[in-house]
Structure 1
Amino acid sequence: MSIPDENKNYSYADYLTGDEGERFELIDGEKFPMSPAPSRRHQQVLRELSTAFTIFLRGEECEVFFAPFDVRLLGENKQDNEIMNVVQPDLSIVCDRDNLDDKGCNGAPDMIIEILSPASIKMDRWKKFQLYEKAGVEEYWLVEPVYESVEIYLLINGDYKFQGVYTKGDSLSVNCFTGLEIDLDRIFE
């Protein structure tokens, strides 16, 4: 993996022409290398969450996407060399089909879920949290697979408001999708 130049701002155009096999995300033009493949537990939790959302949303306008899937934030109506934020959330749910193109999503998904790992905690809880809030992602979940918990944040008047922590044994309602209940026993089995 090449070492990023700390003085350079990177754009989506740079991202598209990066070294083959180099995986990174961009936040405000800064390059953040992605960690190696996630753990088996991470992938199991991602599979269960993706399945729950996909089954519920089947036949609806919304679509469920899981990483790797490029989400370009704060880049609407901009050229590739002007887009400075590209992330690959673990799970993105997009209801506005105008935000979807062959490259992924260009705009804020309605909901993003990040599954924490030791290498991603700081990024998911701080950098991405602020970016998703600024971009207008309505609902943001932080899932902790080791401790089997889900933290929920809702965008209210432009700021994320903490809604609570839920653990195995709980069933939780998804704010963005009326009628969708997630059984955390199922997610963390």
Structure 2
Amino acid sequence: MSQERKPERVRDEKINGVIYDMSPAPAYQHSQVIGQIFAKIKNGLKGSMCLVFMENIDYKYSRDNDDYLEPDLIICCDRSAIRGNSYYGTPKFVAEAISPSTVKRDRGIKKDIYESCGVEEYWILSPVERAVEIYYLVDGKYRLQESYVVDDDKESEHYNLGQEITLRAFPITMTLEDIFIY
């Protein structure tokens, strides 16, 4: 008896009608960093109506077509806007971990899409460089609020593993160590 293989979920995004394949899988640091943040947020959202998703929900950002993004992390607070594996509302928070194949889209068109859709907070993480850029939506435009590159040399005057970061819309705080040391 032969067994059929289940089709693997293909990670892709559709932007302006163009499908972008998101394979091969990114470096292991990508999932470690996203997983660390996911755990902190999930714990911090207990008792909330909001849900956090990690790389497994499509964000249907356009009402005019069937385009979608698949954010690395997304906080969805309107549960009625979740249908199947898609979210049709406006996320409160999105984080993207860059890789060589996605850096241009994450810092360019995807950032523009999140901004135009009203996503209040957008993080761009660089797992290999151990860096984070934090953007807040101010008067309809993203403003770089914070930017950190990890310095884990305890003898350095710029040592910053204890640097705290708090999500804008939630009382969820984490340190650079929480994010980048695993």
TM-score, normalised to structure 2, is 0.83
Matches within 5 A, 1:118-157: 118-157=100-139
Quick one: structure 1 residues 120 and 176, their matched pair in 2 at CA, closer, same or farther if it must change by over 3 Å? same
Letter in 1 for 2:165: L
Q: Provide Cα deviations, 1:101-125, integer angstroms capped at 9, x if missing partner.
A: 2232012211100011111100100
2:33 alignment partner in structure 1? 45
2:180 alignment partner in structure 1? 188
| 2:150 matches 1:160 | no
Match of 2:99 among 105, 117, 127: 117
Preserved CA contact (<8 Å) 2:62 2:68: no
Query: How far did residue 180 of structure 1 move?
Result: 1.5
Query: How far did residue 74 of structure 1 move?
Result: 2.4
**Sequence identity percentage:** 35
Partner Cα distance (2:173, 2:92) in 1: 17
Query: How far did residue 172 of structure 1 move?
Result: 0.9
64-73 or 165-174, which deviates more: 165-174
Secondary structure, in 3 states, of the residue corresponding to 2:80? helix
Preserved CA contact (<8 Å) 1:153 1:160: yes
Partner Cα distance (1:69, 1:93) in 2: 11
Secondary structure, in 3 states, of the residue corresponding to 1:85? coil
Preserved CA contact (<8 Å) 1:112 1:139: yes
Partner Cα distance (1:147, 1:24) in 2: 24
2:55 alignment partner in structure 1? 67
Partner Cα distance (1:95, 1:187) in 2: 23
Secondary structure, in 3 states, of the residue corresponding to 1:117? coil
Aligned CA RMSD, in angstroms, stands at 1.7
User: Structure 2 unaligned runs (5+)?
Assistant: 1-6, 151-160
Preserved CA contact (<8 Å) 2:58 2:86: yes
2:44 alignment partner in structure 1? 56
User: Structure 1 unaligned runs (5+)?
Assistant: 1-18, 76-81
2:166 alignment partner in structure 1? 173
Quick one: structure 1 residues 124 and 59, their matched pair in 2 at CA, closer, same or farther if it must change by over 3 Å? same
| 2:20 matches 1:32 | yes
Query: How far did residue 84 of structure 1 move?
Result: 3.6
Quick one: structure 1 residues 22 and 41, their matched pair in 2 at CA, closer, same or farther if it must change by over 3 Å? closer
1:8 alignment partner in structure 2? none
Preserved CA contact (<8 Å) 1:91 1:113: yes
Bigger radius of gyration among the two? 2
Matches within 5 A, 1:76-87: 82-87=64-69
